[in-house]
Amino acid sequence: MAIDAVIPFKPKNPKTRLSCVMEQEERETFARAMLADVIAASCEGGCSPRLLCTAPYLHPTAEVCVDADGLNESLNRVLSAASSPLLIIMGDLPLADGAAIRRLVSTEADMGIVPGRGGGTNAIFLRHPGRFRADYYGASFLKHMAIADEAGLSVEVIDSFRLHTDVDEKEDLVEVLIHGRGEARRCLQSLGFVLSVEGGRVGVERRTHKETL
Amino acid sequence: MAIDAVIPFKPKNPKTRLSCVMEQEERETFARAMLADVIAASCEGGCSPRLLCTAPYLHPTAEVCVDADGLNESLNRVLSAASSPLLIIMGDLPLADGAAIRRLVSTEADMGIVPGRGGGTNAIFLRHPGRFRADYYGASFLKHMAIADEAGLSVEVIDSFRLHTDVDEKEDLVEVLIHGRGEARRCLQSLGFVLSVEGGRVGVERRTHKETL
């Protein structure tokens, strides 16, 4: 049986730290493209995606649950209700692929965890979801390791840059343009983003329609 | 027979982008600590470390070769002279571990490559070093993929955040304090660096000796 992959998703005004380079509607389109990549990777990795949305959202294939409460509160409700192994994976991981997710859900430990950059948590696989509780924001990786330790859960940290790379800021778009293979990369390209190299450092710049022609 | 792991290393005035938080002597100490972690991981991963230094440097266990020329020039001399499989791995990867290096050098492809953050290349394993040439700086990951393609080499991109995380800037120290297990982490701690969480974002701050007491 496929493992449920719970993917928190904010359809309205997401990724505000990208406001410097994208309008709200573009950020919403880009967030949906990243979500599509995470959904595709979850399916390839043998999971069944279930969106946990902060506002009503229609998705053609994935099951959608709406919970306007905070991320931790809504996730912890899902965890207490779950009776089988569960994956929590963020929706802003456009480099995710089936191989990395399969490594994560194949752990022999009670819990597999993938840290995000800067102390965050990008994905958690739980063999017994009821024994764990989520505590996102801040240095959540350390908090989640402590919660697992208190609960007596064995933990494997999964070593994947594809699941480690979350996209929040302009600099992160470099990773999508270089390593992305799916919708998020195509979305950035259609918005006119290209790589730029200046003084040996790689960044992104946005070409207007006129320049692209 | 162990695979040679060539580790470029700059003993004098390294990591200048850390100047905002470390004096030159401290940066040299920290660079040596990161190098120690890479050497330990290389040995655990079944490789035999060989330092390629820009200036004379004494190391208690690893073989040292001094070449004051540019990184690409000196590496390409090593590549043309090599007659057996070779690993090139940067010295600023303090999260490196034996498991990740073993995955890299066990690839069935002609070449295994680990991208660094921001378009760089952190490690390359070459089954036939003479068929490849190094082209570091800028978007070197894309350049190395193109060089491999031109040379007809099959390539596997190794998915590891431990080898993906190179340390250049103050923000990168967060990763060392959270995920490091070796010398580099201990070095940062002895220099007074601690994690700080402000407004949900994780950073580092440096406590002076007085504050620490």
- Chain B residues in contact with A141 by the CB 8 A cut-off are 178
Residues of chain B with pLDDT > 90, as a percent, come to 94
pLDDT of residue B209: 58
Type and span of the H or E element at A49: strand A47-53
Q: For the residues of A116-176, what is the DSSP string, one character each?
A: PTTS-EEEEEESSGGG-----SSSHHHHHHHHHHHTT--EEE---HHHH----SGGGHHHH
Of B118, B142, B163, the CB nearest to A201: B118
pLDDT of residue A185: 98
Residue in A with minimal Cα distance to B96: A159
- Chain A residues in contact with B156 by the CB 8 A cut-off are none
Contact A119 B162 (CB under 8 A): no
pLDDT of residue B211: 55
Q: B197 in contact with A at a CB cutoff of 8 Å?
A: yes
Mean of pLDDT values over A169-195:
98
pLDDT of residue A209: 59
- In angstroms, rounded to a whole number, what is the distance separating the alpha carbons of residues A90 and A124? 9
Residues of chain B with pLDDT > 70, as a percent, come to 98
pLDDT of residue A50: 97
Beta bridge partners of B8: B52
Letter for the amino acid at B185? R
pLDDT of residue B201: 87
Contact B138 A202 (CB under 8 A): yes
CB A101 within 8 A of CB A89: yes
CB B178 within 8 A of CB A115: yes
Residue B97 is classified by DSSP as -
- Chain A residues in contact with B171 by the CB 8 A cut-off are 118
**Average pLDDT over chain B, rounded to whole?**
95
Phi, psi dihedral angles at B195 (to 5 degrees)? -70, 150
- Chain B residues in contact with A138 by the CB 8 A cut-off are 197, 200, 202
- In angstroms, rounded to a whole number, what is the distance separating the alpha carbons of residues B205 and B24? 18
- Chain A residues in contact with B161 by the CB 8 A cut-off are 114-115, 159-161, 163-164
Find the distance separating the first CA and the last CA of chain B, reported in whole Å.
Answer: 49
- In angstroms, rounded to a whole number, what is the distance separating the alpha carbons of residues B110 and B131? 10
- In angstroms, rounded to a whole number, what is the distance separating the alpha carbons of residues A153 and A176? 34
B188: three-class secondary structure by DSSP: helix
CB A34 within 8 A of CB A91: yes
Mean of pLDDT values over A155-178:
98
**Domain boundaries in chain A?**
3-167
10 Å CB burial of residue A134 (0-12, 13-18, 19+) is buried
pLDDT of residue B56: 93
A76-130 confidence digits (pLDDT tens): 999 999 999 999 999 999 999 999 999 999 999 999 999 999 999 999 999 999 9
Helices A24-44, A98-105: axis angle to 10 degrees equals 60
Please say if the pLDDT value at position A208 is more than 80: no
Q: For the residues of chain B, what is the DSSP string, one character each?
A: -PEEEEEEE--SS--GGGTTT--HHHHHHHHHHHHHHHHHHHHHTTEEEEEEESS----SSSEEEE--S-HHHHHHHHHHH--S-EEEE-S--TT--HHHHHHHHT-SSSEEEEEPTTS-EEEEEESSGGG-----SSSHHHHHHHHHHHTT--EEE---HHHH----SGGGHHHHHHH--SHHHHHHHHTTEEEEEETTEEEEEE--HHHH-
- Chain B residues in contact with A159 by the CB 8 A cut-off are 97, 99-100, 159-162
> Confidence band (pLDDT; 50, 70, 90) for B27?
very high
Measured between CA atoms, how close is B199 to chain A, in angstroms? 8
B144-193 confidence digits (pLDDT tens): 999 999 999 999 999 999 999 999 999 999 999 999 999 999 999 999 99
Chain B 113-172, residues with CB within 8 Å of chain A CB atoms:
114-115, 117-120, 137-139, 141-142, 157, 159-164, 171
**Token representation of residue B95:** 């999260």
- In angstroms, rounded to a whole number, what is the distance separating the alpha carbons of residues A142 and A32? 29
Mean of pLDDT values over B92-98:
98
What value, to the nearest 5°, has the Cα angle with vertex B202 and ends B196 and B205?
35
A6: three-class secondary structure by DSSP: strand
Of B115, B139, B161, the CB nearest to A160: B161
> Confidence band (pLDDT; 50, 70, 90) for A49?
very high
Please say if the pLDDT value at position B212 is more than 80: no
Of B118, B157, B197, the CB nearest to A202: B118
Measured between CA atoms, how close is A138 to chain B, in angstroms? 4
B69-94 confidence digits (pLDDT tens): 999 999 999 999 999 999 999 999 99
Measured between CA atoms, how close is B141 to chain A, in angstroms? 9
Selected from 3.90.550.10, 1.20.120.80, 3.90.1150.10, 3.40.630.30, the CATH number assigned to the domain covering B3-167 reads 3.90.550.10
